[in-house]
Amino acid sequence: MIEIKGLSFGYRKKGKLFQNLSLDIKPGRISGLLGKNGAGKTTLLKIICGLLFPHSGECKVFGVDSYRRCPESLGEIFFIPEEFYLPSITPKEYINAFAPFYGRFDIVKFNEYLKTFEIPLGVRLTSMSYGQKKKFLLAFGLATACKILLLDEPTNGLDIPSKSQFRKTLASAVTDDRVILVSTHQVRDMENLLDSIIILDNGEIIFQQEMDSILSKLSVKLASDPSYIEDVIYFEKTLGGYAVLTENRGEEDTKIDLELLFNAIINNKERLYEIFSKEVLAHEN
């Protein structure tokens, strides 16, 4: 559904950001796009929805170059940026103005989402708090029934109850023909929700794996001294000891701390490549 091949892009003052970047994102899952500040996560989302144009290579959405911004494709993509503008109108006026651009917009679902997120109907959007505005856009985006939903830092500005509501609502919106791509630094808000992980670093995709594969290959242990543990990939000091990421030999299933995993990949990606290449070779044989 989203195919990126040999893509290069950069900004005039900052130079090259992406060089020969390739990525294939399939529907039916929630994918997390992770990376350090300045890695290009937001830029990549904007290229996918046609707001920025690649310098070379291609980004195809539904088989069409995204930069062409075909009406048929745009009606199937909804992008919620981290920084956004909402006009000084009511939710009802917003629906009347923008819902017609999305052929499968579901007003019943939209009203359900507004109720779930506790969004007031009788006030102008500009008078809402940042968190309320964010939840309004999430409700609208989900109600469009678009096949591609791009979310940039969706939990920023949400309080704890709202984050819980967001996770439940987003999980219920997954369908076999829908791509949900979430760019986030707030990995602890998302780690029980993501089906696949994509890590962007220095203009390259350095890691892309399904969570099932990650859980089968890696495990996390708590230890007072990591030197006594075999197959250590990475460890960090925590309260009461160390959180240790190790290779899973198949003897246990544990939850994966995405923050620990991210730091491990950034600091020891060669070891991670070795572990996951074993799986690829096993499948090929």
pLDDT mean across residues, the chain: 89
The C-alpha atoms of residue 204 and residue 32 are separated, in whole angstroms, by 15
Where do the domains of the chain lie?
A: 2-202, 211-284
- Please report the pLDDT score of residue 170 as a whole number: 92
CA of residue 118 relative to chain centroid, distance:
24
DSSP output for 100-167: GGSTT--HHHHHHHHHHHT--SSS-GGGS-HHHHHHHHHHHHHHTT-SEEEEESTTTT--HHHHHHHH
The partner residues of 205 in beta bridges, in order of sequence, read 200
The partner residues of 78 in beta bridges, in order of sequence, read 149
What are 225-275's pLDDT values in tens digits? 888 888 889 999 988 899 999 988 776 667 888 999 999 999 988 989 999
Three-state DSSP class for residue 203 = coil
Q: How far apart are the first and last CA of the chain?
A: 28
What does DSSP assign to residue 263?
Answer: H
Q: Which CATH number fits domain 2-202: 3.20.20.370, 3.40.50.300, 3.30.870.10, 3.40.309.10?
A: 3.40.50.300
Confidence of residue 2 (pLDDT cuts 50, 70, 90): very high
The C-alpha atoms of residue 262 and residue 254 are separated, in whole angstroms, by 16
- Please report the pLDDT score of residue 21 as a whole number: 94
Decide if pLDDT at 285 tops 50.
no
Decide if pLDDT at 223 tops 50.
yes
Apex 39 CA angle, 36 and 43, nearest 5: 130
> What does each C-alpha distance from 94 to 4, 12, 76, 159, 169 come to in angstroms?
33, 36, 18, 24, 21
Ranges 34-38, 44-48, 113-117, 278-282: which has the least confidence:
278-282
Decide if pLDDT at 30 tops 60.
yes
- Please report the pLDDT score of residue 252 as a whole number: 66
What are 57-87's pLDDT values in tens digits? 999 999 999 999 998 889 999 999 999 999 9
Confidence of residue 145 (pLDDT cuts 50, 70, 90): very high
- Please report the pLDDT score of residue 226 as a whole number: 86
Average pLDDT of 98-119?
A: 93
This model's pTM is above 0.95:
no
What are 84-108's pLDDT values in tens digits? 999 999 999 999 999 999 999 999 9
The C-alpha atoms of residue 150 and residue 170 are separated, in whole angstroms, by 12
Q: Name the nearest CA neighbour of 170 among 189, 188, 186.
A: 189
Decide if pLDDT at 280 tops 50.
no
**Strand 64-65 vs strand 232-238: parallel, antiparallel, or unpaired?**
unpaired
- Please report the pLDDT score of residue 37 as a whole number: 87
Percent of the chain with pLDDT over 70: 96
Decide if pLDDT at 284 tops 50.
no
